[in-house]
Structure 1
């Protein structure tokens, strides 16, 4: 696996807008100071708690404290290792990473990378085989799947042979055991390995980034007891995390603020092909809490479209119980032909068209009406049981105001009180998210956002905050700052700023620049202490028109120097002739700083002469500092 130098990582990070990357996964809204807010994907976020700062190249959740840079976000969100995250970001930005030698890596990291490459190879091979199978092409034509849809969803074909794909994989450098690990082959009882998918139409299952992580295979032989066969879980595929089609539909779901949840691959593909694009399918598994957490960041309403049989009704009820606690309002409907027979979304949209489907959506029942029709409680006992059940659903909702509104509705409809005091929530017990597998591969140390750090902004003089921001936003000032705050200044013991935080900020910024030869807010953030990171986050977005930043830099230094001199003067008691002399020099220094500032303001000296005088004035400040008695501080 490649190893990338800090210089490469810093360069890539500086070229990528973290907000654009994160918007690939969750919707963001612009907030003040040029930042963005969104619902955190790393916990059950009820309202936007995650701040994204493009200037610093960081994200931070104020609720669960998740945070880091663009690599960290992709790594955690996609559950991939650090190197894979770097390569994902580089691919997104069109950035050419250099070829590097490989390091020793943990077995799990190697396996994940191998499975990812093998899935890509399999996807290409299945697609190439499709054009050679008349049976598969006819099947797709009968299902009204166009060539464009075939390509979009990477539909292919697995021939009826024991080692068709295995042989192809071996020719491309993989072993039969690799195919087993990827879920593309199975070990036979009598020994040997054979293809898992045979004589099946193959549908690629992709994660949110569009990476192929698994496959669904539809039997075309008519002899298999399993009409559909999915890949087993692997190093890259976890059913509870994947919603089929979500990589295509995410933008539409966010735009519509609603999601249509269907059962099958063809239900989704036919709807998407017909222009109904805010749709997902939980193929291969029932809808999970992880699925609902993902959808809750995009949708306010979920339309549950399942079959009307017993299994479909059970799936509907389970899905309703999963999405409702996440603040998604479930609406339920079943599709039918004009004669009243039930029909799935795939057949419906092909027979009656997408407009008819959209019209059917408007007839969807809210979850409370749906449950009332299904349960049809008549006797007092049935009504009591029904009310207890729907109250248990309401209690599972985290949003208290939404709870109150539903309780009011239930109270009005069923003449019951609004109390939840003796009601048990049906919400499943919390399960910690599966951690990203650790490895010995290259990892980046991401600064942890510590809760203990805090900034008392009211105690920092506004001029000092502005000076810190001036240096932060203007890389062209760094050589001038390094000249002023040089080693002699650093060893003099002078604190130019009244605020210790600003003093630390300026000295650390200059030190990092001198060490790296590079200045960027992102680099500073990576190297700062928790307190300075917090200070950095609080600095406002601002721009200076050149050469105003140079003028303000030196003018501010004259004011800060004068203030410093006043503080130094108070530390020198008038108890000797030398002390009196120093105090007189201090008064003269203050007058001199005011004079050179006035000369520059009236254009009697140019910026270069002004800068030279300001830098030279440091020697007097260091002299004054040395004259302060040891017990002066």
Structure 2
């Protein structure tokens, strides 16, 4: 805790007029100063600063107050963090209240030097002219270039290396932060070559990495990102998050894009509350960042098939943070940037008033696309998707979409309701005990789930378990598919990010994965589930699951034939012999 006397001193000694002027353009009227509120979207100024009382207040939102509280709200930080930052500005010794010095301050400082170098290189160097021409062709203004701190990395250069070396930075730090690489002969070169540079900042506005867009027509890698480092984690970062905070507060929502130029082009049209996932699947950490600054999000991904699929994957992650979700429907399969270029800023702005739908309607329409309601398979797939969507929905929303679904399928509404919803509560409760499976099935499925949870812990675990199992060793088909996908993910990315992994799954398997694994207490508490002995035990149990499946099938067929007067005796004997041989094989293999 910070001493009350220190808090009072910070509030008294901080010049509120100078502080507020960092964020708002103010005009003097009488004793006070007025400007447009940094907290809400408005046309008539309601934000006032009183130097005499040393307070700054927004009359519309009632936000602001004395210096610490105003700074806390406008920076979206804690009261203690705001007090410490303002105290340091005043040179006040914060004593024990001072938070730990950021261990990465040296990294941030170096990356900011690199960011400023790239920015200057774009604006003032001969090399940067080509990149400026490219931006001009895309109608990106000088003001926008400066707001986003866009830069340029020269072709086949060691300029960044030389510049940092001249300033005394260690080459090991340059490599560690992903701006320089070393050749086999020991010479160094810049990682980014002939690329338009997008600096990436964290939630506090610190530069943590870069993304570079190639200007070479034949270059296969269009965008190159900084490698993940101690300060840069793609799944925990949103492009333009810090820079857009004031506009997000005014708009009272976040617009979520996929790409950099979507954010930049939208910013120029006046849609300034935009952030981007940098082309990767949305993560829980990114959704949490959105929730910290707003309760509402508009998802404005590309309008093509991959974009629509990505929206469908993002919605459950945003729903988990209890966000109000709208989806911007962009016609003709265009992304926001292309739409603006094709139809202009005014048409794009109109989309936000005319072409947004809620998350339920988007998914309903998305699942309906391409379905033939004269085809039973399409009907079932569509109905199943809608039912999964409504699993956790409010009862009123469920009933609304049951009615829409029944109308589209031309059936009675009770035909689309889940069976338990057309029973009485008493009937449902009576049937609950029958839902549990037999012990033997539970044994196989439990072993399989424990193995997959262990695979999620590390790539080493996954490789050990996968090497011991064949494709036919499974208890539940969903688990078999997830196990295969887990191995594919490790081969592609090297380490597991379960949020990103779940986004790669189709809706049916993603829902199953979230329910079965991400909500598992062992996963949530990060507990180690199986040691080597436990892995071997569960592998043996799962290997016997194929016997159990075949045995169950044979017993069912024999029972059906026994009750059939016209049974095929030869077929009956064939099943009986196979069942007997299967039981012998189980015993010889150590099965029970």
TM-score (norm 2): 0.53
Give the C-alpha shift of residue 16 in structure 1: 7.3
Instruction: Please name the residue that 1:392 is paired with.
Output: 388
What is the CA-CA distance between 1:165 and the residue it aligns to?
A: 0.1
Q: CA deviation at 1:380?
A: 5.4
Counterpart-to-counterpart distance in 2, 1:156 and 1:257: 30
Correspondent of 1:141 among 129, 136, 148:
136
Residue 245 of structure 2: aligned partner = 250
1:50-449 matches, within 5 Å, as 70-71=79-80, 86=84, 88-90=85-87, 94-96=89-91, 110=103, 112-130=104-122, 131-132=124-125, 133-189=128-184, 191-336=186-331, 341-361=332-352, 362-376=354-368, 377=371, 378=373, 379=375, 382-395=378-391, 403-414=394-405, 415=413, 416-417=416-417, 427=514, 429=518
Whether the 8 Å CA contact 1:219–1:227 is kept in 2: the answer is yes
Q: Rate the CA distance shift 1:394–1:374 in 2: closer, same or farther, 3 A.
A: closer
The higher radius of gyration belongs to 1
SS class of match (1:409): helix
How big is each residue's C-alpha offset from its partner over 1:250-296, in whole Å with a ceiling of 9 and x where there is no partner? 33333333332222111111110121112211115221112212223
C-alpha distance 288-168 of structure 1, shift in aligned 2 (>3 A)? same
Counterparts of 1:129 and 1:303, CA distance in 2 = 35
Matched residues in 2 for 1:310 and 1:230: separation?
Answer: 24
C-alpha distance in 2 between matches for 1:242 and 1:298: 14
Q: Mark the CA change 1:292 to 1:236 in structure 2 (over 3 Å): closer, same or farther.
A: same
- Give CA deviations for 1:363-416 in whole Å, capped at 9, x if unaligned: 2333333333333253555445444434434445xxxxx633322322322334
Report the Cα distance in structure 1 between the residues aligned to 2:173 and 2:340, rounded to whole angstroms: 40
Alignment of 1:24-35 (within 5 A): none
More helix by share: 2
Indicate the structure whose relative CO is greater, using CA pairs within 8 Å and at least 6 residues apart.
1
1:120 deviation in Å?
0.8
Residue 427 of structure 1: how far off its partner (Å):
4.7
CA distance, structure 2, for counterparts of residue 181 and residue 239 of structure 1: 16
SS of aligned partner of 1:215: strand
Query: Could you say what secondary structure the match of 1:307 adopts?
Result: coil
Q: Report the secondary structure of 1:248's partner residue.
A: coil
Secondary structure of 2:244's aligned partner: helix
1:545 — aligned with what?
none
Measure the CA separation in 1 of the matches of 2:5 and 2:231: 29
SS where residue 233 of structure 1 aligns? Answer: coil
CA contact (8 A) 2:257 2:300 kept: yes
3-state SS of the aligned residue for 2:280? coil
The answer on whether the counterparts of 1:325 and 1:427 sit within 8 Å (CA) in structure 2 is no
User: Is contact 1:254–1:298 with CA below 8 Å preserved after alignment?
Assistant: yes
1:354 to partner: Cα distance: 2.3
Partner of 1:311, secondary structure, is helix
**2:68, 2:116 → 1: CA distance?**
39
TM-score between the two structures when normalised by the length of structure 1: 0.50
CA contact (8 A) 2:367 2:385 kept: no
8 Å contact kept, 2:360–2:389: no
The verdict on how the C-alpha distance between 1:271 and 1:162 changes in structure 2, with shifts beyond 3 A counting, is same
Aligned residue in 2 for 1:629: none
Deviations 1:496-547 (A, max 9, x none): xxxxxxxxxxxxxxxxxxxxxxxxxxxxxxxxxxxxxxxxxxxxxxxxxxxx
SS in 1 for 2:181: strand
Aligned length: 370
Measured at CA, do residues 56 and 186 of structure 1 come closer, stay the same or move farther in structure 2, by a change above 3 Å? closer
Unaligned runs of 5+ in 2: 25-37, 41-63, 71-76, 406-412, 422-427, 429-434, 436-507, 527-592
Structure 1, residues 427-465: CA drift from partner, whole Å, max 9, x if none? 57268799xxxxxxxxxxxxxxxxxxxxxxxxxxxxxxx
CA contact (8 A) 2:269 2:349 kept: no
8 A Cα contact 1:185 1:193, kept in partner: yes
Contact kept in structure 2, 1:324 and 1:393, CA below 8 Å: no
Are the equivalent residues in 2 in contact too, given 1:157–1:201 (CA < 8 A)?
A: yes
Note closer, same or farther for the CA distance 1:342–1:386 as it changes in structure 2 (3 Å cut).
Answer: closer
Deviations 1:218-274 (A, max 9, x none): 111334321111112222222222211122323333333333222211111111012
Query: Partner of 2:558 in structure 1?
Result: none
